[in-house]
Structure 1
Amino acid sequence: MKTRLTPPYTPEEAAELAAEALRDTLDAVRLTRRAGGLALCRDVFGRLRGLGQWAAALPVDGNIGNGGDPAALLRTQRHRHLMIEGRAPGVCAEFDVASPCHSCRCGRLAWHLEGGPTMSHKTLLRTGPLLPGGASPYGPLGLQGAVGLTLPSGFTGRVVARSGHKVAGLTWHAAPDGGACFPDGDGWIYVSNSELPLLGGASALRFRADGSIGDAYRILSGTDLNRAGGATPWHSWLSCELGHRGRVFECDPYGARAARPRLAMGRFKHEAAACDPERGVVYMTEDEPDGCFYRFRPGDWGDLTEGTLEVLCSSGGWRVVPSPAALLQETRHQVEDARHFDGGDGCHYAGGVCYFTTKSDTGLWAYDAQTSTLDRLCEGVRAITAAPSGDLYVARETTQIDVIAPDRAVTPFLRLEGHEGAELTGLAFSPRGDRLYFSARRGRTEGHTFEVAGPFRG
């Protein structure tokens, strides 16, 4: 319901109207998040989280046109689109006055935040075994290329960075590990962790629209064993420390703001993180022989400063970890019914399912957040990501990446020759879904970061 405070009104009437407006706002945020969108409840004249990183943001407020200052709002937030008056039931907003926008149709404007992380439109079938050995959607692998990559017809590969070598003026870090891509105007950014003790951190490669590298820079320094991590819907990078009582650092892939530790997410041997925007939680893995599978529920989705850390239990439910700081007892031992895994590894969320891997048995697990069920899909997997098509791309124990189609067919996508004993890490698709990035690392010194471009399924 749209409300207007029209004088004269009593203090009681004003309080009632304000309470009604707040309920409407909170309902709109809740419905948007349930539909998979990103909604923030903020002062429209305050600082927007991730300022300068959104391709488009739509502020919705029913009182801007009654005494507000839209021009000041535009100057403050630099929005491409401005809602003058309106409301937001779910993911659409009716409006009175709005600036021209390509998505306007029949008096309605979709509430959208363009340029977010790549989302899968299709999902893996939720039941049934994986089916290896079928026909690849890209055909058979061809001959080995110049950089050691064997790819299907129509695909090309190149090395974009090498440990110890200069790239756009930056010496690329050793031990490249977890990675992710972020939109950057017409181009994009690939970030990569470094699993070095005490000198870990993360670096970024900025690509122009034509695929050339325009810049390279550090986004996190002086941290310990930054193994994997995860991208957030608001375009930050969660870099996870693998050391004893490790931390999660929230980093700015655009290099404008300093990284910040998010201590409420727990102190343990962090491996990877994956955001679930539908439930407003972040899943995390723990690299211990008896490690756990966690989820962090922030008090305000989009702000990881405070929240509740929970652990998956043998019963299938989640229980609160009493002391995330783990000063007296490790987080994995604080809940009696906690379910344990032998070395939590990679983690990726797509289509209502959080996929994660375990090191000891190289197992691939699927936690269905809709049904609260956990299945073990296969063995021999170390890293995982998803394409917009819904295909999963999994790095094997060998230097091979397979594709798992939504119908559960498993086929080879690429092989890397000449890097025997290397581990493939940091799988991530560019925002348009036409380029796949990953690194091949041996130990904590040698590492190559690759790009594969071609006709990936949309």
Structure 2
Amino acid sequence: MTPSINDSRRKFIRNSGMATLGFMGLYQFMNPGLSHAKPGLKPAMGYGPLKKDPAGILNLPEGFTYKIISNKGDKMADGLYLPGLADGMGAFQGKNGRTIVVRNHEISPDSLEHSGFGANNELIGTLPAAEFYDFGKGILPSLGGTTTFVYNENSGELEHQYLSLAGTIRNCAGGITPWGSWLTCEESTLRKGEYDGKLEKDHGYVFEVPAQETIHRAVPKPITAMGRFNHEAVAVDPASGVVYLTEDRGDGIFYRYVPNSPGNLHKGGKLQALAILGEKSRDTRNWEDSEGPVFPMMKGHKVRWIDLENVTSPDDDLRFQGFEKGAAVFARGEGIWWGDKEVYFACTNGGKIGAGQVFRYTPSEFEGRPEEQNAPGELSLFAEPNDREILKNCDNLAVAPWGDVILCEDHKHPFLVGITPEGALYHLAENVGYASELAGGVFSPSGKTYFVNIQGPGITVAITGPWKS
């Protein structure tokens, strides 16, 4: 029996590291790896200067350590190989000090070098075709999906890992649910018949993967009512069951899904797009060539929600439908995370110089119900430093149990960027080993371990240290 939203809320708070974030504008910054604070900005010490890693992979503050817990190509418990291009992750409470982590893989069908079935897909026959969403006629199966690993925080060891969803394409990010599953999103709108007729299904959907310690393949059934578009990530409001969704396009929109039965997303619902109340198609990107006025910092804008139709969108035109009806436009919506009573999401190339923005949406107390017209939700722009020494191309994000937001940068020289509840920024880690983005950062439910991927080489690391309480 699926737990109700209210029954699951307390567990969800632990899993999501939920905390109210009293952002103060995100103007304050210091790079602890440098010897001085940026002029005019109040220093934020964070965890102190970053120390040079003797192994030349990940610089961390004093007292912090990391451990590589898995590598692309590792043999998994189900006999398959660990796929490459690891991306978004969700962490869940396991038994006896264990953490269950579901991990996305952003792989295209022809990226055989990242396949979990071997360099020539030679292990493809070990799984029944029915366990794939798109078997590619047995010639070019879709190689994205998810793996699940079980990590023992007491021993600091990864105990086992396995393929938990097969046959999807470019699983980028997703989101945890209050009922103990991971919603994984396809960042693709490929159609049936593409790749010279080999694809058997349309792509661009959200799939649900239960978080389980034992080997279990999720039923590869798309939640079609949540729309077909270039999905990035999702966040679930544990009180209402409403799901918020980002779209990774330079002219994307911000969605919500109001389910008919909260906690049972396959039972259908209403997909909607956010619009600023009293305005038509407001441009929030703040690019120099953006139309309309600059979207201001720290100002709440009341919103309305627009119904979308034909959500399976064969022509990938949901955002255009939204614009015609007045939806706001965003610059590559990416990571999203539920806070206490609000949701935070990153726009990776928003802002005047295209270095990134962070938005906050505060739902109505009547979210998703007719009464919300009298008390609408509000959207605010919280971060837009317009300085690449402060923040560049923010992607995945998560809220730590003590209230800091941790952002992963999508860049060849990326940092983990922390943001305190007072709005000060600091560097938590620096990837010096690989010219590759950091992805999927997430805390264990206990708050003791932060897991993050170095995507290019296919490495997952576990970071521990003197975290704030």
In the alignment, which residue of structure 2 is the partner of 1:206? Answer: 150
Distance 1:430 1:224, change over 3 A: same
| Cα displacement string for residues 327-359 of structure 1 (whole angstroms, at most 9, x for unaligned residues) | 466211223201122322222221223222223
Question: Which residue among 166, 183, 208 is the counterpart of 1:221?
Answer: 166
**What is the 5 A alignment of 1:250-269?**
250-254=208-212, 255-256=215-216, 258-259=218-219, 260-269=221-230
In the alignment, which residue of structure 1 is the partner of 2:310? Answer: 323
| Cα displacement string for residues 167-218 of structure 1 (whole angstroms, at most 9, x for unaligned residues) | 5565211111111111111211112111111210010111134232221111
| Cα displacement string for residues 286-341 of structure 1 (whole angstroms, at most 9, x for unaligned residues) | 12231111011111211111111110114331111122122466211223201122
3-state DSSP class of the match of 1:457?
coil
3-state DSSP class of the match of 1:385?
strand
- How far apart are the structure 1 equivalents of 2:383 and 2:347? 12
Distance 1:137 1:327, change over 3 A: closer
Moved more, 228-237 or 275-284: 275-284
Question: Which residue among 307, 324, 346 is the counterpart of 1:357?
Answer: 346
3-state DSSP class of the match of 1:450?
strand
Question: Which residue among 368, 376, 383 is the counterpart of 2:361?
Answer: 368
> Does the 8 Å CA contact 1:196/1:224 hold for their aligned counterparts?
yes
In the alignment, which residue of structure 1 is the partner of 2:287? Answer: none
3-state DSSP class of the match of 2:52?
strand
> Does the 8 Å CA contact 1:120/1:351 hold for their aligned counterparts?
no
Count of aligned residue pairs for this structure pair: 351
Note the C-alpha offset of 1:129: 3.9
- How far apart are the structure 1 equivalents of 2:264 and 2:144? 25
Distance 1:161 1:436, change over 3 A: same
> Does the 8 Å CA contact 1:136/1:412 hold for their aligned counterparts?
no
- How far apart are the structure 1 equivalents of 2:455 and 2:217? 29
* Structure 1: gaps (5+ residues): 1-47, 51-56, 59-89, 92-110
In the alignment, which residue of structure 2 is the partner of 1:394? Answer: 407
- How far apart are the structure 2 equivalents of 1:296 and 1:127? 29
3-state DSSP class of the match of 2:455?
strand
Distance 1:137 1:344, change over 3 A: closer
Instruction: Read off the aligned partner of 1:130 and give its amino acid letter.
Output: Y
| Cα displacement string for residues 100-130 of structure 1 (whole angstroms, at most 9, x for unaligned residues) | xxxxxxxxxxx98547643445422244343
3-state DSSP class of the match of 2:180?
coil
Note the C-alpha offset of 1:153: 1.9
**What is the 5 A alignment of 1:85-104?**
none
Q: Which has the higher strand share?
A: 1
| Cα displacement string for residues 64-101 of structure 1 (whole angstroms, at most 9, x for unaligned residues) | xxxxxxxxxxxxxxxxxxxxxxxxxx99xxxxxxxxxx
In the alignment, which residue of structure 2 is the partner of 1:79? Answer: none
3-state DSSP class of the match of 2:2?
coil
Distance 1:116 1:124, change over 3 A: closer
> Does the 8 Å CA contact 1:121/1:390 hold for their aligned counterparts?
yes
Matched, 1:431 2:451: no
In the alignment, which residue of structure 2 is the partner of 1:172? Answer: 82
Distance 1:176 1:112, change over 3 A: closer
Show structure 1 runs of 4+ deviating over 4 A.
Answer: 111-117, 167-170
Distance 1:249 1:122, change over 3 A: closer
- How far apart are the structure 1 equivalents of 2:381 and 2:76? 41
**What is the 5 A alignment of 1:67-86?**
none
TM-score (norm 1): 0.71
Note the C-alpha offset of 1:256: 3.8
> Does the 8 Å CA contact 1:147/1:159 hold for their aligned counterparts?
no
> Does the 8 Å CA contact 1:399/1:419 hold for their aligned counterparts?
no
| Cα displacement string for residues 336-390 of structure 1 (whole angstroms, at most 9, x for unaligned residues) | 2011223222222212232222233242322231451221512522221111001
Note the C-alpha offset of 1:263: 0.9
- How far apart are the structure 1 equivalents of 2:414 and 2:315? 41
Question: Which residue among 456, 459, 469 is the counterpart of 1:448?
Answer: 459
Matched, 1:194 2:105: yes
Matched, 1:303 2:213: no
Instruction: Read off the aligned partner of 2:332 and give its amino acid letter.
Output: G
In the alignment, which residue of structure 2 is the partner of 1:49? Answer: 2
RMSD value, Cα: 2.4
Note the C-alpha offset of 1:228: 0.8
- How far apart are the structure 2 equivalents of 1:328 and 1:152? 48
Higher relative contact order (CA 8 A, sep 6+): 2
> Does the 8 Å CA contact 1:353/1:366 hold for their aligned counterparts?
no
3-state DSSP class of the match of 1:264?
helix
- How far apart are the structure 1 equivalents of 2:242 and 2:24? 24
In the alignment, which residue of structure 2 is the partner of 1:78? Answer: none
Distance 1:196 1:246, change over 3 A: same
Question: Which residue among 192, 203, 207 is the counterpart of 1:249?
Answer: 207
Instruction: Read off the aligned partner of 1:293 and give its amino acid letter.
Output: F
* Structure 2: gaps (5+ residues): 31-42, 109-141, 190-202, 278-302, 364-376, 385-390
3-state DSSP class of the match of 2:468?
coil
In the alignment, which residue of structure 2 is the partner of 1:68? Answer: none
TM-score (norm 2): 0.70
Distance 1:123 1:112, change over 3 A: closer
> Does the 8 Å CA contact 2:11/2:178 hold for their aligned counterparts?
no
Matched, 1:136 2:45: yes
In the alignment, which residue of structure 2 is the partner of 1:313? Answer: 275
Distance 1:157 1:329, change over 3 A: closer
In the alignment, which residue of structure 2 is the partner of 1:13? Answer: none
- How far apart are the structure 1 equivalents of 2:232 and 2:218? 21
- How far apart are the structure 1 equivalents of 2:157 and 2:80? 15
3-state DSSP class of the match of 2:249?
coil
